[in-house]
Amino acid sequence: MAPEQQKTRKNLSKKHFCYINSAFRVWGAITLIVLWALTIFTIQKPNYTKHVITWYLLVTSIIVTIFELLWVLNNLSCFRETGCCYCKCWKYFMMVSNWRKGVLYIVLAIPTFWIEQNYIQSIIIGIMLTVSGVFYILMSILPLFYREKKATPEQYVLNPTPNVKLVSQEVATQTDSSYYAHIYPPSPPQYEENVDTVALPPELK
C-alpha cells in the first residue's frame, strides 16, 4: 500500500473514532437528563413517595451525575494535582472510567428491572443505563483497533574492538626495483678520477 493511502486510511480511522466517541458522550448526557427527569417525576407522584424505587432512582441519579461530570471536571486546571480543588480521593474517582464505568452502570441498571416490575419509568432508566454501560465498555475496546503501530527502533549490538598494541616493523618483502626506485631515488652517478699511473723504478719495487 502506498504511503499516501496509508495516511488517508489513518486519518479516516481517527475521524471515525472521534465520531463514535462523541456519539457515546452525547448518549451519556441524554441518559443523565432522562434519569433526572424520571426521578423527579417519580418523587412528585404521591403513590411512589414511600416506595424503594424512588430513593433508589435518586441515589442512582446522583452517582451517574458524579461520574458523567468527571471527564469534564478533569480537564479543568483546578482539579489537577497542582490545582486548588484536587484531593486524594479524586484519583480514586478517576480510576472508575471507561469499562469500569460501564460495568458500574450495568450493575446499577439491574435493580431497576425487579424492584418495580410494572413501573415503566424504572424500566426505561434501566434500559438507558444498560446501553450507556455497553457504550463505555466499547470505548475501551475500540482504541485497540485504531491504535497506530509505532516504529520499532533498530537494535544494534555493540562489539567493542579490543585494544591491540601494534608494533611497527619494517619488513622488506618486495624485490621489485620500481618499488625501491619510488621510495629510494637513485643516487647520482659517481665518476672515478683518471689518475695517470707512474712507473716506479725497479729499486723501489
Give per-residue pLDDT as tens, 37-69: 999 988 887 776 567 888 899 999 999 998 888
- pLDDT score, position 168: 45
Looking at per-residue pLDDT, the higher value among 32 and 189 belongs to 32
Listing DSSP states for the chain in one string gives --HHHHHHHHHHHHHHHHHHHHHHHHHHHHHHHHHHHHHHHHHH-GGGTTSHHHHHHHHHHHHHHHHHSHHHHTTSGGGSTTSSS--HHHHHHHHS-THHHHHHHHHHHTHHHHSSTT-HHHHHHHHHHHHHHHHHHHHHHHHHHSPPPPPPPPP----PPP--------------HHHHHHHSPPPPPP--------PPPTTT-
Give per-residue pLDDT as tens, 134-172: 999 998 887 777 655 444 444 544 555 555 444 444 444
29 pLDDT above the threshold of 80: yes
CA angle, corner 103, sides to 58 and 99, nearest 5?
A: 125
Take residue 132 and report the three cell numbers written for it: 450507556
Looking at per-residue pLDDT, the higher value among 50 and 205 belongs to 50
Per-residue pLDDT, averaged over 69-89, amounts to: 70
Per-residue pLDDT, averaged over 74-84, amounts to: 67
105 pLDDT above the threshold of 70: yes
In this prediction the pTM is: 0.61
Backbone angles phi, psi at 66, to 5 degrees: -60, -45
Report the range of poorest mean pLDDT among 65-69, 94-98, 133-137, 172-176.
172-176
- pLDDT score, position 52: 84
Report the range of poorest mean pLDDT among 12-26, 90-104, 181-195.
181-195
- pLDDT score, position 161: 56
Q: Can you tell me the distance from the alpha carbon of 191 to that of 119, in angstroms, rounded to the nearest whole number?
A: 135
Take residue 197 and report the three cell numbers written for it: 699511473
Q: Residue 174's pLDDT band (boundaries 50, 70, 90)? A: very low
- pLDDT score, position 177: 53
Take residue 56 and report the three cell numbers written for it: 433508589
Q: Can you tell me the distance from the alpha carbon of 185 to that of 170, in angstroms, rounded to the nearest whole number?
A: 18
